[in-house]
Amino acid sequence: MATSNLKPTDPEYARWVDPATGEFRVIEPGQTFKSITDKITRIVLTPHTPLGWFAIFALAGAGATVLLVAVTWLFLKGTGIWAVTQPVAWGFAIINFVWWIGIGHAGTLISAILLLFKQSWRNSISRFAEAMTIFAVVCAGMFPLIHTGRPWLGYWMLPLPYTMTVWPQFRSPLEWDVFAVSTYATISVVFWYVGMIPDFGTFRDRAKSRVGQYFYGIISLGWRGSVRHWMRYETASLLLAGLATPLVLSVHTVISFDFAVAVLPGWHTTIFPPYFVAGAIYSGFAMVLTLAIPLRKFYRLEALVTERHIDNMGKVMLATGFIVAYGYGMEAFMAWYSASHWEAFTFWNRAFGPMGWSYWTLIVCNLAIPLTTLWSRKLRTNISFMFIMSIVVNTGMWFERFVIIVTSLYRDFLPSAWGTYRATKWDYMTFIGTLGLFTTLFVLFVRFLPMIPMNELRMLVPQAKITPKKPKEVGR
Amino acid sequence: MPPREGTYGLLAEFETPGDLVRAARQAYKDGWRRMDCYTPYPVEEAAEAIGFHTNRVPLLTLIGGLMGLAAMYSLETWISVIAYPLNVAGRPLYSWPAFIVPAYEWTILWAGLSAAFGMIALNHMPTLYHPLFNAPNFRNGALVDKFFLCLEALDPKFDAAESRTYLESLDAISVVEVEY
């Protein structure tokens, strides 16, 4: 509904807008501990899976199968089936790696950084944003591994005592990546799981089927809600959030070092770390919207994931979008100010060379459309508009990585070494396949795990307030 | 712990977090120590009321983080200087600025794992069985919308009949005896 048109006189006004703050409510009024619990447990513990779920699962599974085919053929034939060659030796694999891992970053931002800032509106969306992080890291982590061409030797990147007595090279950012991404994946999974333990306890107590009782009973570790446990749990959550915050910033920084440390015009710049991190959060929030909007519709969660969430995510996108814009501007400025012939040429070639279309796609998708429209609250609370916007920004951010990688590489220092890049069908299949894998994992997650943290939402309910006076009648 | 017989404690159910906190405060003031509150979400005031102020999760996290830092930094130094010295464009073997990044990641990794597993271990989890699960009303509401205070039989003040009257005087909507 168009809440943006609401006037204070409107009867619907009080339902959507909190009179104390003038903001959209975080969750709709009238929610109780029980209504929240019922709503979320019913999605998981129902014996009747909605037909639409099967349809999406089948579609996503088909996508994941495409990935299986593409990767199998890759293992049989080698990376020659991709378009990577000299001079563009990093193609889709690294584009997709950076894109996916960037998407994951918004999940950590929502679950960790906004927790530290006590932004309680995040409670409704933190769990599935965190799930999105994990599945995005799964997709991302696969790419560097299959890009090596010999993924079965991937363990060579780890400092293990092999019989051949070779050790990793710790001065290379590519080696740093191994530690950054593996730590990120581990901490994200741990944070996600720890957050779900109390909700698993609720599921255990409410499950009707034997299998459900055993399954949730075991993974809840016997959680019983003792306040002593809760206090340790809260401390651990805060510490994990505090640790995940510098971690998430370091992960994309390290990834930007893969580029910035190379002495290549277009890559060798100090703006890369902040610019990559902001871009990551920008695309990640877009992906949260892409997932949240259909999800709240499908499971009728509008009372818990409200327009306030959509509105706030739009604001974060606006802010990070401007940091990204600053990054683009600085790249252009430094191309001129550095007085380096190579830098100037790379920039000119990026914008006006044969692959200039990709640069302008990125400018339109990342700057022209979102940064002009997201100012309007009316548009930020227009659900269909925000859904389209999220797709536009995701496309734009994918092209950003394409531009950074391909247009910096394809025209080398010597014109005799110039080449071009044209992705093969295997490149496309791998990319589409990871979209399928991501969706498959996400669809399984919403079916079997609590996608909204019940224990955190209970804190937002007015019932949770400790009243100083006994509200009970005397003489009880 | 050997299997026990008899009563684990008395479980009082409360309608609101406020009632629970007031009851817990009163019980603590009256000298009860072996007791615990059970809530569907973290209620800090209840923990304060029963005298639980600090926990050791932060200390474990600090120790874990420092261990991670030391482990990775020394591993990198040992590999690059002693085990496999590699001359890369004449750079020093001991290139400490480059070693910071993996050491930083491992600090976070070990600290995070210590925080999570430390919390689980300090909570004595997994505890898949607990006497409280025998209480008829506990599993119905403890993790949904009800608030419980349990006075445990191990407390020297405990007496099945007297403690029951005591709990009822604290505005509990029901008091049940929990068996092991």
Q: Are residues B74 and B97 in the same domain?
A: yes
CATH class of the domain at A18-462 = mainly alpha
Residues 13-52 of B with CB under 8 A from A: 16-19, 21-22, 36-47, 50, 52
State whether B48 and B78 are in the same domain. no
Within 10 angstroms of residue A205's Cβ, the number of other Cβ atoms is 23
Considering only CB atoms, A227 lies closest to which of B47, B57, B119, namely: B47
Could you read off the pLDDT of B47-105 as tens digits, one per residue?
A: 988 988 888 999 999 999 999 999 999 999 999 999 999 888 888 999 999 999 999 99
- Decide if B127 touches A, using CB distance below 8 A: yes
Nearest chain B residue to A176 by CA distance is B102
The answer to whether A225 contacts B21, with C-beta atoms less than 8 Å apart, is no
In a domain, B76, yes or no: yes
pTM, whole model, 2 decimals? 0.90
pLDDT confidence bin for A475, thresholds 50/70/90: very low
Contact between B116 and A234 using a beta-carbon 8 Å cutoff: no
Mean pLDDT score of chain A, rounded to an integer?
Answer: 88
Q: What is the pLDDT of residue A469?
A: 59
B94 has a chain A CB within 8 A of its CB: no
**Percent of all residues in chain B with a pLDDT value above 90, rounded to a whole number:** 43
Of A167, A201, A233, the CB nearest to B143: A201
Report the pLDDT value the prediction gives residue B91, as an integer from 0 to 100.
86
Tell me which residue in A166, A171, A186 faces B95 most closely, judged by beta carbons. A171
Task: Provide the pLDDT for residue B3.
Answer: 58
Contact B145, A34 (CB under 8 A): yes
Assess if residue B16 is contained within a domain: yes
> In chain A, where are the structural domains located?
18-462
Give the mutation candidate from B35, B38, B41 for the A interface (greatest A CB count, under 10 A): B41
Question: Which residue of chain B is at minimal alpha-carbon distance from A254?
Answer: B101
Domain range enclosing B153? 7-54+127-179
Alpha-carbon distances of A228 from A409, B46, B176, rounded to whole Å: 57, 9, 21
Would you state the pLDDT for residue A11? 66
What is the number of structural domains in chain B?
Answer: 2
Q: Is the pLDDT of residue B153 over 90?
A: no
Report the chain A residue with the minimal C-alpha distance to residue B46. Answer: A227
Is residue A326's pLDDT more than 70?
A: yes
Per the domain annotation, does B1 fall within a domain? no
Decide if B35 is inside a domain. Answer: yes
Instruction: Please tell me the predicted confidence (pLDDT) of residue B63.
Output: 96
Is residue B158 one of the residues assigned to a domain? yes
- Pick from B41, B79, B115: CB nearest A239: B115
Q: Give B93-123 pLDDT, tens digit per residue.
A: 999 999 999 999 999 999 999 999 999 999 9
- What's the pLDDT band for A12 if we cut at 50, 70, 90? low
Where is the domain boundary, B91, B122, B153?
Answer: B122
ipTM of the complex: 0.93
Beta-carbon neighbour count of residue A27 at 10 Å? 22
For residues B66 and B105, membership in a common domain is answered with: yes
Render pLDDT for A249-286 as a digit per residue (tens, 0 to 9).
999 999 999 999 988 888 988 899 999 999 999 999 99
If you average pLDDT over residues A145-167, what whole number do you get? 86
Q: Chain B window 95-114: which residues touch A at a Cβ cutoff of 8 Å?
A: 95, 98-99, 101-102, 104-106, 108-109, 111-113
User: Which among B50, B132, B171 is the nearest to A476, CB-wise?
Assistant: B171
In a domain, B150, yes or no: yes
Q: Once rounded to an integer, what is the mean pLDDT over residues A310-338?
A: 92
DSSP state of B117: H
**B62 and B116: one domain?**
yes
For chain B, the average pLDDT equals: 89
B2 in any annotated domain: no
CA A227 – CA B65 distance, rounded (Å): 26
Q: CA-CA distance, A108 to A402, in Å (whole number)?
A: 24
**At residue B9, does pLDDT exceed 80?**
yes
Return the pLDDT at A476.
44
Among residues B75, B101, B122, the one where a domain terminates is B122
